[in-house]
Amino acid sequence: MHNTTRVPCRHLPSLRLKPLALLGALLLPAAASAAPDSAPDVRDPAEVYRQVCAHCHAPDKAVGPEITIAFPEAAWEARGNYIRMTVRNGRAAMPAFRAAKISDPELEALIQALVSGELDDAPAQGGEE
């Protein structure tokens, strides 16, 4: 008989997984350090308003209603949902704006700025055509 060392079959799956586990352990710190750098920049709500909204919604524009007018606080939650749905889906003459134009975090910050009245005095110039 040959005197060879044989690995029992029940240990084969664990031997195959060890290199993968080692590779994963080596790649995990690299992936974790790359995550913060890949986060998209979130523009200031006033900048988003000037670049995207003011073209139609500034006080001197006749295309859309002025959206910086303060509403009763109880109505703002519903108003925020209305703004969110209108921005994403469009309405009448207003086109839909996808996340490539206004990211979800930017849209939420814009809604909060509108709700708080932060944009009431924001300059309404600019606006992309």
* CB-based contacts of 89, cutoff 8 Å, min separation 6: 96
Report the C-alpha gap between 93 and 75 in whole angstroms.
24
* CB-based contacts of 45, cutoff 8 Å, min separation 6: 106, 109, 110, 112, 113, 114, 118, 119
Catalytic annotation present for 1: no
pLDDT given for residue 77 in this prediction: 66
Q: How far apart are the first and last CA of the chain?
A: 86
From 94, 96, 100, 122, the catalytic residue: 94
From 93, 96, 100, 124, the catalytic residue: 93
Percent of the chain residues past pLDDT 90, beyond the cut: 13
Average of per-residue pLDDT values in the chain: 72
pLDDT band at 87 (very low <50, low <70, confident <90, very high): very high
Q: What is the tens place of the pLDDT at every residue in 91-118?
A: 888 899 999 999 999 999 998 888 777 8
pLDDT given for residue 69 in this prediction: 54
Q: Residue 123, exposed/middle/buried by CB under 10 A (0-12, 13-18, 19+)?
A: exposed
